[in-house]
Structures are given as C-alpha cells and as structure tokens.
Amino acid sequence: MRVEVLTIPEVLLMTPIKHGDERGFFSETFRADVLAAHGVRETFVQDNHVRSTQRGVLRGLHFQTPPHAQGKLVRCMRGAILDVAVDIRAGSPTYGRHVAAELSAANWRQLWVPPGFAHGYVTLESDCEVAYKTTDYYAPDCDRGVAWDDPAFAIDWRIAPADVVLSEKDRRQPRLQDMQPIFQYQN
C-alpha cells in the first residue's frame, strides 16, 4: 500500500496495490500495520456504505463531537468523488485549512480523516458508491457539521454551487467562525 502525507500531515492519502490477471484482481484495502507505521493506531468499529445516484450530491461537512469523535477511512468503489477534510482543531497550525483528493473506482485511492476534522465529499459522476470505516459508532447526539460553502475554507468543489444537491441538514450548517471550538490541537 502506498501512503502519501498531504499538506495537512495528519490526513493521509492511501493507494492499495492491485494484483490482477485475466480473472480480475486482488487488493488489500485495509492493513492496521500500515496505518500504525504512519501514526494511526485507531481501532475501526463500524463500516458504512453510501450510494448517491446523481452527480453533484454533496454530503458534509460532518463530524462527531467527543466522546464519540470519529476518524474515517474513506474509499469510492463506484464512480468518482472529491473528498475533503477540514481541520477544525482550535490552536492547530492548519486550523480552518482543508485538503482535497479525488477518490474513484479507477484510481483506488483512500483518504484517512482523523478525529478533529470535518469531512465531506461531492459526487463527480452519477451512480457513486462510497464505503468508509469509522473509529467510533454513529452517535446522533454528537452529530455536527459546518457549512460546506463557508468562504473561509475556499473549497473548490469542482461543481457549480447551483448544481450541488444537499440534504436539508447540510443547508443549515453554521460557518466555522460561528461555532464554539470543539476540538483542541495537541502536539
């Protein structure tokens, strides 16, 4: 598995290796030892699978608060998405900055999004399927979000805002500047 450290070093872009022949392919999509070698020693407790039928479906930017903060290991198994992680850890040298990566069935990449980051993605094609592992269970009382179009983030979602398809929940998320700090950066 190839691992690339992004401009926010806690977020990792991982590309599992495919071994193929005339029958198809084999790929190890998760290895705890590879993550641990890059400082990720989290235990995954839940797998989620999401299907979006239209181009432009934007899910995010979401996070869970302590005591149920989640890290996520995200991959796209059908279609293509732009996956985004925003640092929302007060005091972090990268606070309010984001990283983005295209994840697709073709490029086979995965993104590690640690706790303390808001996460979201937009579908770049119709009929996308995304699967992700989480480090804590879904806890509705801890479910939060931040505005996907917060101008402070300056995220280029690669979809015109008029073409973005949002849930009602995601239409109402606050800007980062309007939220009390939830996560604190720790060296």
pLDDT of residue 187: 78
Q: What is the pLDDT of residues 32-91, one digit of tens each?
A: 999 999 999 999 999 999 999 999 999 999 999 999 999 999 999 999 999 999 999 999
For 98, phi then psi, to 5°, come to -130, 165
Tokens of 1: 């598995």
Could you give all domains of the chain from N- to C-terminal order, each with its CATH number?
Answer: 44-180 (2.60.120.10)
Catalytic residues: 62, 132
Q: How confident is the model at residue 165 (pLDDT cuts 50, 70, 90)?
A: very high
Share of the chain above pLDDT 70, in %: 100
pLDDT of residue 97: 98
pTM above 0.75, yes or no: yes
SS (H, E, C) 113-146: ECCCEEEEEEECCCCEEEEEEECCCCCHHHEEEC
